[in-house]
Structure 1
Amino acid sequence: PGSIERVDAVTPYVEKVIDGVRLSRRLKVVVDAGNGIAGPVMLRILSKLDVEVVPLYCDVDGHFPNHHPDPSKPKNLEMLIRKVKEVGADYGFALDGDGDRLGVVTNEGEVIYPDRLMMLFAEDILRSHPGAEIVYDVKCSRKLV
């Protein structure tokens, strides 16, 4: 017979994600996890970075009672945009169901589309790793080229 071993993968993951991250000021962020599995992890990450978090649908519920957790659909960002404006947050983060996609909105409720986010991520990586190759999807802005 086999055996079962419980392993905490979240704590080392959170530590790796925040390693070396220093924010220039304290931020206020609304997190809409759409009741997906990534919500609690995102809350831990932001909490460790001393971000003031306003959780929105961060309780895991696979029935997705509030909206489908797909940040690529503008309809799924409506409640996030409303909450960001309501609480005066700096940003709003929307996660998909398993946390591998991120939607971002500004304090004014404007969506920062994924290819634009890629530019910000690329700039950060290239600052610490000059000459690194950046792999991107063909659907991204030509400004990445």
Structure 2
Amino acid sequence: MLIESFLVVAGGLILYGCKKIVIDPIQEFRSVRKNISKDLVKYGNVISNPGSADQGRIDDAESDLRDDASDLKSAVDDIPKYDSFADIGIVPSREDAKTAKRNLIGLSNSVEEGDPMTNHEMREDVESSLGLDD
């Protein structure tokens, strides 16, 4: 009886540790990915027509897209053995995540003054890198 109780408690602790160390960071990554998708739609007109929105909306887009890039980097860095999870398709490759981060920063820098075609290409790169394609 004592051994069974010990095994149940030990098993529970192991499962709890796995949840905190692996599952929670992957869920956070998926939450960040969802937020990036939302912001790409939310600011689609600002991205496609640089400088055409009012300054407040441009400032919001710049800030949110930059935040998305930093959230993405921290979510990737928080997943232990990230490359192993990427190899089995749970998360995109580290290179794809870097591409998405780089392009989110590029979009943040170019929503006020940028080339619409370049912005479109950066947006598509973010979407394909994170598997957000339709």
TM-score by length of 1: 0.28
| Higher helix residue share | 2
Larger Rg: 2
TM-score by length of 2: 0.30
| Structure of higher RCO (CA pairs closer than 8 Å, 6+ residues apart) | 2
| Higher strand residue share | 1
